[in-house]
Structure 1
């Protein structure tokens, strides 16, 4: 397929590279030059595209480029938004373009690099099937979860589970270390039992080492927690654990940790117990 790919950052670049390796013709556009064919503008990137993809940080960036896409892309092009934005925005975009999929992703930078992302997709079944070769190139798990905006609701659910799990793993580390327990051995045991999770698999060693090189930044998770709380209001449900996690993420950002990985919630939990062990 001929694909115009807008947004070649930490996640978008490896995803675009997987699409190239899968045989698709990708024209990318970003503020930074990239090691494959790039376009000087959104209009140039999408003008001959069969599929237009955006992978951008938040609603304002998606809304800024969308008019350029609709003004310049072929009228029968399929638009896929891999960004994490509000369900309301996704639905509004779907009202303005006849073939639209909201397909936010989970798996972080490593999942994007390895081509094993999880994708939660909202839109029509026909468009989902048309996009299957693209999803196969960048992801391992992908499901159609409902109509327009549905993918964003599932991504909100994903982010509340991820944020909450990071907070609980942080509390487990603080508890074990304060009690004089071998926290590394303790987390190994947790990872082998019912408490097992991808976060324990991927992040327990770096959290114990207080190494917070970003795979997904606190700043972005802060944005996502806002989406979660907004989605809860839209669905008229109470999510008390999500609200608490949102406050912890907001505290991390307020304390200057916004550029760190979201596992840096450990710094906030440590601070609550005056148990800070971070090397400055």
Structure 2
């Protein structure tokens, strides 16, 4: 059993923390939402009144937050992780944020004797609920091995990808590929339907050939049916595409397709669909083709 502090119990963090509690770990969690903390208690964890209450005495601290401002506030702020954690604590940030923020966290944690991993995840809400996430971790190899038993409770694919910040770079690459595939599947649906071909049947064929992908496996039926209940919201994918573009600038490489996908996702958000699943990119492609469905 490990004493764990878990900060951020949203649609991703909540199930992740619950799996850790179910595995027998002593999990104390904190979230700005009392309802989220109550769900952790129902799953066998404990609710902490503040960050310090979750972190103090913990051997491992996990953060799962929306973006770098929240991570910085939780880690660097008064009563935050760096103030409250003891030397030797392992801080695992599983949020998706800028690589430079992850590097800065590690830099500022080192003098306090706090070890750090950046370990963003892929798999969305469904992956978190099924404990089937892909976890890509950056940091020291020894710290990754120490964290492996924790990761394996939450994920199926657990890989050390490099030094501090590397996890965030791999996650940026993941998000640009995911966004691009959603855009192409959306275009395939529009083409099939405009040509009088049953889109569901056409996508079944694509899913059995070289065009097969996890997105086609998991999302083709809901996309054809125009069901966009969020597993991962457009708002968050918009943020992630900004991270990918910033990483490209930092690395001094050109990613023209990424830039296009980022603009399509931004358009989807501007159309008021930020709270929908990222498969709602189909709405943008339909509108560009003059085939937008009437809004209910």
Per the shorter chain, which TM-score range?
over 0.9
- Normalised by the length of structure 2, the TM-score is 0.94
Match for residue 58 of structure 1?
67
Match for residue 27 of structure 1?
28
Match for residue 83 of structure 1?
95
What is the Cα deviation at residue 75 of structure 1?
1.4
Asked if the contact 1:47–1:73 (Cα under 8 Å) also holds between the matched residues in 2, the reply is yes
Q: 2:209 aligns with which of 193, 210, 214?
A: 193
Is 1:12 the equivalent of 2:13?
A: yes
Unmatched runs of 5 consecutive residues or more in structure 2? none
Q: Once the two structures are superposed, what CA deviation does each residue of 1:157-178 show, in whole Å capped at 9, x if it has no partner? A: 0000000000000000000000
What is the Cα deviation at residue 277 of structure 1?
2.3
Q: 1:148 aligns with which of 133, 144, 164?
A: 164
Aligned to 2:161, what secondary structure does the other structure show?
Answer: strand
Aligned to 1:5, what secondary structure does the other structure show?
Answer: strand
What is the Cα deviation at residue 97 of structure 1?
1.3
- Normalised by the length of structure 1, the TM-score is 0.99
Asked if the contact 1:3–1:26 (Cα under 8 Å) also holds between the matched residues in 2, the reply is yes
d(CA) in 2 for partners of 1:132, 1:73: 20
Q: How does 1:64-213 map to 2 (within 5 A)?
A: 64-67=73-76, 68-98=80-110, 99-213=115-229
Q: How many residues align?
A: 280
Q: Once the two structures are superposed, what CA deviation does each residue of 1:253-277 show, in whole Å capped at 9, x if it has no partner? A: 0000000000000000000000112
Is 1:265 the equivalent of 2:281?
A: yes
d(CA) in 1 for partners of 2:100, 2:33: 30
Aligned to 1:195, what secondary structure does the other structure show?
Answer: coil
Q: Once the two structures are superposed, what CA deviation does each residue of 1:228-247 show, in whole Å capped at 9, x if it has no partner? A: 00000011110000000000
> Alpha carbon RMSD of aligned pairs, Å?
0.7
Asked if the contact 1:210–1:278 (Cα under 8 Å) also holds between the matched residues in 2, the reply is no
Detail structure 1 runs of 4+ shifted over 2 Å in the superposition: none
d(CA) in 2 for partners of 1:165, 1:97: 37
Aligned to 1:164, what secondary structure does the other structure show?
Answer: helix
d(CA) in 2 for partners of 1:266, 1:151: 29
Q: Once the two structures are superposed, what CA deviation does each residue of 1:115-168 show, in whole Å capped at 9, x if it has no partner? A: 000001000011000001110000000110100000000000000000000000
Q: Once the two structures are superposed, what CA deviation does each residue of 1:66-102 show, in whole Å capped at 9, x if it has no partner? A: 0210001111100000000000000000101131000
Unmatched runs of 5 consecutive residues or more in structure 1? none
d(CA) in 2 for partners of 1:76, 1:206: 46
Aligned to 1:23, what secondary structure does the other structure show?
Answer: coil
Q: 2:237 aligns with which of 194, 217, 221?
A: 221
Q: 1:235 aligns with which of 235, 246, 251?
A: 251
